[in-house]
């Protein structure tokens, strides 16, 4: 199955342009010939918006570690770091 990157490479445009064209972004100003070429290439390559292997999204962890005071000991004195 083709990806947007494959279509962009064949059409000579950016992946962002392919995305905006295939999603019918009305605010995206591009030459009509280029728009039609991208759509034609996508159809020829059987492009589908369905993702076969989506990239897993990493979630932020909410683990808190307790902060403990540290001590540095030397021969003459002990320094307490808070």
Q: What is the pLDDT of residues 33-77, one digit of tens each?
A: 999 999 999 999 999 877 655 566 666 666 676 666 665 555 555
Instruction: Note the pLDDT of residue 54.
Output: 58
Question: What is the structure's pLDDT at 11?
Answer: 95
Would you kindly state where each structural domain of the chain is located, as residue ranges?
Answer: 1-52
Asked if residue 1 lies in contact with residue 49, where contact means CB atoms within 8 angstroms, the answer is: no
Lowest mean pLDDT among 6-20, 21-35, 65-79: 65-79
Q: What is the pTM of this model?
A: 0.60
Contacts 24+ apart (CB under 8 A), 15-19: 18/42
pLDDT confidence of residue 31: 94
- Helix axes 4-11 and 32-44, enclosed angle (nearest 10): 130
Q: 43: which DSSP letter?
A: H
Q: State residue 29's pLDDT score.
A: 93
69 close to 80: Cβ distance less than 8 angstroms: yes
CATH homologous superfamily for 1-52? lambda repressor-like DNA-binding domains (1.10.260.40)
């Amino acid at each position: 199955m083709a990806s947007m990157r494959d279509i962009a490479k064949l059409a000579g445009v950016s992946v962002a342009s392919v995305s905006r064209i295939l999603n019918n972004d009305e605010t995206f100003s591009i030459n009509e010939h280029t728009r039609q070429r991208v759509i034609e290439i996508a159809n020829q390559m059987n492009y589908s918006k369905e993702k076969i292997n989506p990239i897993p999204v990493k979630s932020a962890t909410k683990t808190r570690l307790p902060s403990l005071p540290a001590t540095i000991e030397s021969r003459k004195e002990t320094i307490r770091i808070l």
